[in-house]
């Protein structure tokens, strides 16, 4: 019994009636094979393109990363330089502030010294201007017992300079005008010695 020829396609499986049909089926398989080969070729080209694009992107990212690393290194060095400069400026500022404080204290001490000298000169001039420059404590003395005239009982206030000058004579003490520079402080004795 002779076997019948059928189509090789599993979906078709029709009975073949002649040789021409068999040849047609082979041409179909060849066409399918060619289409698959073209598709595979296209997929291979597309895959190569994707790989090339990925490699190019990876290379670009590596380059960008290297540039970022170099930039970060440069920024770190610049930051260190700025930190050192800031420390130096701070040190100089502290030195300047310390020098300024010293000069300020020196100027204030000079002003205080001048004020003290002026106060002392003012007090001295006021004391000199009182009764020919000799101050004898009177009733306003906070401690009258500390200054006593000869022959005065202990605890009594001293007498005023005018009484003392009247008792001892006006020639004993220089006058107020002589103390202020308006006349000679003491009488000349050179001429009198020459006369003698």
Let me know whether 163 and 141 are in one domain.
yes
Tell me if 14 is assigned to some domain: no
- The DSSP code for 151 is T
Nearest to 131 by CA among 185, 177, 181: 177
Final residue before a domain boundary, out of 119, 142, 164: 119
Final residue before a domain boundary, out of 66, 86, 119: 119
Mean predicted confidence (pLDDT) in 63-87: 94
What token pair was written down for 181? 């520079």
pLDDT at 97 over 90: yes
CA 76, CA 95: separation in Å to the nearest integer? 29
Tell me if 63 is assigned to some domain: yes
Top-confidence residue, 47 or 29: 47
Let me know whether 156 and 175 are in one domain.
yes
Tell me if 67 is assigned to some domain: yes
Mean pLDDT, the chain, rounded, equals: 72
Tell me if 141 is assigned to some domain: yes
Let me know whether 96 and 139 are in one domain.
no
- The DSSP code for 87 is H
Final residue before a domain boundary, out of 119, 147, 177: 119
* The total number of structural domains that make up the chain: 2
- With vertex at residue 78, the alpha carbon angle to CA 76 and CA 81, rounded to the nearest 5 degrees, is 110
Let me know whether 140 and 166 are in one domain.
yes
Let me know whether 42 and 95 are in one domain.
yes
pLDDT at 110 over 90: no
Let me know whether 87 and 139 are in one domain.
no
Domain assignment of residue 136, given as a range = 128-185
CA 108, CA 112: separation in Å to the nearest integer? 6
In this predicted structure, what is the pLDDT of residue 150? 52
Q: Please report which confidence band the pLDDT of residue 121 belongs to, taking 50, 70 and 90 as the band edges.
A: confident
Give pTM, 2 decimals.
Answer: 0.36
Percent of the chain at pLDDT > 90 equals 35
């Amino acid at each position: 019994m002779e076997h019948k020829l059928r189509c090789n396609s599993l979906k078709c499986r029709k009975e073949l009636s002649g040789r021409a049909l068999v040849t047609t089926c082979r041409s179909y398989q060849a066409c399918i094979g060619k289409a698959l080969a073209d598709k595979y070729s296209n997929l291979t080209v597309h895959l190569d393109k994707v790989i090339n694009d990925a490699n190019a992107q990876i290379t670009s990212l590596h380059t960008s990363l290297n540039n970022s690393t170099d930039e970060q290194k440069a920024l770190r060095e610049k930051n260190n330089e700025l930190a050192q400069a800031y420390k130096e400026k701070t040190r100089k500022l502290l030195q300047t502030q310390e020098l300024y404080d010293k000069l300020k204290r020196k100027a204030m001490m000079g002003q205080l010294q001048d004020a003290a000298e002026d106060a002392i000169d003012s007090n001295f001039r006021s004391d000199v201007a009182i009764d020919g420059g000799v101050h004898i404590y009177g009733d306003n003395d906070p401690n009258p017992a500390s200054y006593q005239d000869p022959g005065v009982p202990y605890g009594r206030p001293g007498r005023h300079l005018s009484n003392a000058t009247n008792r001892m004579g006006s020639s004993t003490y220089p006058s107020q005008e002589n103390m202020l520079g308006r006349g000679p402080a003491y009488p000349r004795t050179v001429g009198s010695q020459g006369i003698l």
